[in-house]
Amino acid sequence: MDYQGLAQDILKHVGGKANIVSLVHCATRLRFKLKDNALADAGLKNNPGVIMVVESGGQFQVVIGNHVHDVYSAVCLAAGINEDASPQESKGEKNNPLNRLIDIVSAIFTPFLGVMAASGILKGMLSLSVVCGWLNTESATYKIWFAASDSLFYFFPLVLGYTAGKKFGGSPFLTMAIGGALTHPLITQAFEAASQPERFLGIPVTFINYSSSVIPIIFAAWASCWLEKRCNKVFPAAMKNFFTPLVCLGVVVPLTFLVIGPAATWLSQMLAHGYQAIYAFAPWLAGTVMGAIWQICVIFGLHWGLVPIMINNLSVLGHDTLMPLLLPAVMGQVGATLGVFLSTRDAKLKVLSGSAVTAGLFGITEPAVYGVTLPNRRPFIFGCIAGGIGGAIVGFSQSNLYSFGLASIFSLAQMLPPGGMDSTVWGAIIGTVLSLVLACGLTWAFGLPRSVQSASLPTAIAGDDSILAPMSGTVLEMDQVPDATFAGGLLGKGAAIIPLNNEVRAPFYGEVASLFQTRHAIGLLSDSGIEVLIHVGIDTVKLDGQHFTAHVQPGDKIKPGDLLIEFDREAILAAGYDLATPIIVSNSDDYQGVTRVAQQSTLNSGMPFLTVER
């Protein structure tokens, strides 16, 4: 892939590098904070290297897929952005509290999400190895791998101190030092001893084990960055480089042990026990809701608000019951995508769905959702329904997760308790498999319209002088089209179709000659020299591309049945536009005549439609 070319196109559509406030990336998305979101162009999603464009949480999100880091590096290089730079807030920025929360959480956790997922998977594999008798917990092999898997979680305050410092606009190394103080061996020893009260300058201190903690260091980092900015304004340039860190360490570290830490720990415990109380009320209901709506939350970026709850549960309780509920939601979309793969004969959709299934099994569902299930609607709905049913079973089984990671096939190993397999694990397996199989079966049977299932097999063969019907619908003579230009034959001879579906498909072998920027019309050139214009609807240019999605670009080779354009038929009609679609032979003057092949009032896509007389 041409990452530099894709990076330039991304910069162009986000309003240029001058419009970028900050840029981070997660497992599949570039997350832009822009000065003016109105300058961003959602038409970027037509780039073949982009899966989808989403505006959510105050961010302009570009869904790339598995190679997001390479694209991120290319964009940073093209825009002159330092990949290690601290994100800055735009002046005067007004976000609602939810957007602020999502932005803060995603900026703090996304930089190490991949490492965190890998650590969780390694922990799960170790648990599986112990249960199967392949490893002994007293062996050096186990201890070394366990240290590798546990180090990130044990030293969470250091890692979170660094990323939180960057997000809050302070020195990340200073906030990382504060995180180091929370996990220092002296503090850990003081916590373990705790035989008598300790005092700091006469003030009682309650030592707490901050290893693996999440919330205390985030609040401490915010306090440090707030104090750092004010110290930098007071101290002269010659002094602030060492006096500012001195003041921050001398003030914030004791403040954390005296006030911030205990308060944040109490908040952590309340959050964990509050979630547990809700979950205990009706675990099956929690599973149904989370299994059904999780992928909807992912689409809008709202899932980041739940990530701290999962990590906090692991820190406070030693296990998490929220992540297991999400596994059926993920596998529901994987199953729906597999159903599309099995039912469609469209070569392009089959390749896309096949690769999306593989990515989804490993926890990356954006290619499946944005590329396969959501555009076809019913598969996405079936995936959510199956996810809710599977989630209910997992919730009823009260399955637990013992290490953090992306919801994937590896999550089942992460659910193994220290004692080995039990009913909670079997419940998770049953719920997950049922979700995948149910979504696959529903999608295979009912998920795709017949035109999509058999797209690559048109009902007729396009000859040199033939034009197949590019869509299914009711046929109109050209003089019946409610537009004087088309009805008068000024643009060429042909006929029109009032579509019954949402697709425009290739009527012959040839290539795409032109594609209107608003994607409502396309020009085609057959291998035999026939020039055809397909204009979806009357005056639909005024929609400025809304409700239209192009699947080809000028110069692309096409064959009968290839999907060219998708449109939202109901939305266009609701907007008050006539959907009569003229299919015109633009170079009619080169032929003796253009006639309809069949006279029936309705046609299916791929049936003989027009022919030219030489």
Catalytic residues: 26
Buried residues in 260-279 as b, exposed as e (16+ CB within 10 A): bbbebbeebeebbeebeeeb
* Residue 63 and residue 53 in contact, taking contact as beta carbons nearer than 8 Å: yes
* Residue 55 and residue 41 in contact, taking contact as beta carbons nearer than 8 Å: no
Amino acid at 187: I
**What does the alpha-carbon distance between residue 137 and residue 364 come to, in Å, rounded to a whole number?**
32
Strands 557-558 and 510-515: antiparallel
Amino acid at 257: F
DSSP assignment string, 374-396? HHHSHHHHHHHHHHHHHHHHHHH
Burial degree of 88 (CB within 10 A; 0-12, 13-18, 19+): exposed
**What does the alpha-carbon distance between residue 518 and residue 117 come to, in Å, rounded to a whole number?**
41
**What does the alpha-carbon distance between residue 505 and residue 471 come to, in Å, rounded to a whole number?**
6
**Which of 255, 194, 177, 193 is closest to 219 using CA atoms?**
255
Q: Show Cβ contacts of residue 449 under 8 Å, excluding neighbours closer than 6 positions.
A: 501
What is the token pair recorded at 313? 């549960």
What is the token pair recorded at 334? 């994987």
In a 13 Å sphere around the CA of 207, the CA atoms on its Cβ side amount to 21
Three-class SS state of 559: coil
The residue ranges of DSSP E strands in 485-613, in sequence order, are: 493-499, 503-505, 510-515, 521-526, 531-535, 548-550, 557-558, 563-567, 581-585, 593-596, 602-603, 608-613
**What does the alpha-carbon distance between residue 335 and residue 342 come to, in Å, rounded to a whole number?**
10
Q: Show the CA angle centred on residue 540, arms to residues 538 and 543, nearest 5°.
A: 160
**What does the alpha-carbon distance between residue 600 and residue 593 come to, in Å, rounded to a whole number?**
20
Q: For the chain, count helices (H), then strands (E).
A: 23, 20
**What does the alpha-carbon distance between residue 165 and residue 159 come to, in Å, rounded to a whole number?**
10
Alpha carbon distance, N-terminus to C-terminus of the chain: 43
* Residue 98 and residue 305 in contact, taking contact as beta carbons nearer than 8 Å: yes
